Amino acid sequence: MSKETREITVAELAAHVGGRVVGDRTILIRGLASVERAGKGEIAFIEDGKLLENALSSTASCLIVPEGAQIEATCIIEVKRPKLAFALIAELLHPLKRREAGIHPTAIVAASAKMGEGVFVGAWVEIGEGVSVGAGTQILSGVIIGDEVHIGRDSVIHPNVVLYDGISLGERVILHAGVIIGADGFGYVPDEKNVRHKFPQIGTVVIGDDVEIGACTCIDRGALGATSIGRATKIDNLVQIAHNVEIGERVVIAAQTGISGSTVIEDDAVIGGQVGLGDHARVESGAIIGSKAGILPGKIVRAGVWWGIPVQPLGEYKRINAHVNRLPQMREELKELRRQLKELQEKIDGTR
C-alpha cells in the first residue's frame, strides 16, 4: 500500500519520541534515509558507535543519536534508542494511505455481511455470508473471505488473501499479499491397506490484535480446536503454521520457518529464518532460535540462545562446530600418526 508524505518540525518529532533537540528546532523534515544518503529535509539515525564517524560527512537535516553522543551537526535529536525513535518517526512522516470508504462495483458482498463504518472493499473481492468487518478496515483487490469470518477494526487485507470459513482476526491486523488462513491441516490416518483417510479438520484460526503476517504465509485451521496467534506477534513471508499450533504474544518468526502441528511457542520468543519445528514441540518464553535450526518432535526449548540441528544451546553448538571445522586437520594428523606407528612397528620387527 502506498504511503502519504508529510512535513513536520524537528521539535514535533522530538516530542513524539521523548527526545532532546540540540540545534535548530524549526527545521522541517519530510523524509527518512540512511546516514550516508540522507540530504536536505531528511532525517537519519546513528545507533552503532562505529557509525558515529559517518555523521561528520552526513548532509541530513537532522540526526537521531544516542544520549550523550559527541556529534557536531546542525541539528540532532538525542534519545535512548535511536533505531526505535527512527521507526516511530517513520510512522508520522509516512502514514499508510487510507482509501475512501466504499465497495467497488465488481466486489461480491453477501447480503448478510455486516460492514463497519469507513470500510473499503476493492475490485473483485468476495465476502461470504455472516461476515463482520470492523470500522476502517481496508480489503484490497482479489481478496476471498469465506462465511462467518470476523475481521476487527482498522485492519488491512492486501491483495489475493484467502480467509477460509469461520476464522477470526483481531483489530489492526495486517495480512500481506497471498496470505492463506484457515486451510485444512495436514492430518491423515492410514487403514490396514495404508490408504490414508483425512482426519477431521473442522477447527478454526484465531488471530489477536496488532498481528502482522508476511506475504504467502499459510496458517492452517485447527483439527478439532483452534490454531491461535497472540497479540502483537510478527510473522515474516513464506511461513507455514500447521493445525493447532499455539503462538503467544509479541513473538517474532522469520521467513521460511515451518511449524508442525500442536507446537506451542510462548510469549516473546524469537525464531530465525528456515527453522523447522517438529510436532508437539514447545518453545518457552525468552528463547531465541537461530536460522536453520531443527527442533525435534516433543522437544522443549528453554530461555536462551539456541542453534543447530538438532537444536542445542549456542555455546555447545559453537564448541561442536569448532571441532567439526578441525576434522580435515585431525585427519592429516591421524595419517601422520599411522605412518609413524608403521615405521616404529617395522623397526621393532627388524630387531627381533
Q: What single DSSP character describes residue 224?
A: S
Distance (Å, rounded) from C-alpha 185 to C-alpha 218? Answer: 10
Contact 54, 46 (CB under 8 A): yes
Query: What helix, strand, coil percent values describe the chain, rounded to 5?
Result: 20, 30, 50
Q: DSSP state, 185?
A: P
Helix (H) or strand (E) run with residue 145 in it: strand 144-145
CA pair distance 60, 165, nearest whole angstrom: 50
> Does the annotation mark 243 as catalytic?
yes
> To which residue does cell 536460522 refer?
291
Rounded distance, CA 77 to CA 128, Å?
Answer: 50
Distance CA 58, CA 267 (A): 40
Choosing from 176, 197, 243, 323, the catalytic residue is 243
**CA 338 to chain CA mean position, Å:** 53
Set of cell numbers at residue 279: 510436532
Q: Rounded to an integer, what distance in angstroms lies between the CA atom of residue 331 and that of residue 264?
A: 43
Q: Residue 93: which of 136, 45, 48, 159 has the closest Cα?
A: 45
Catalytic center residues: 243
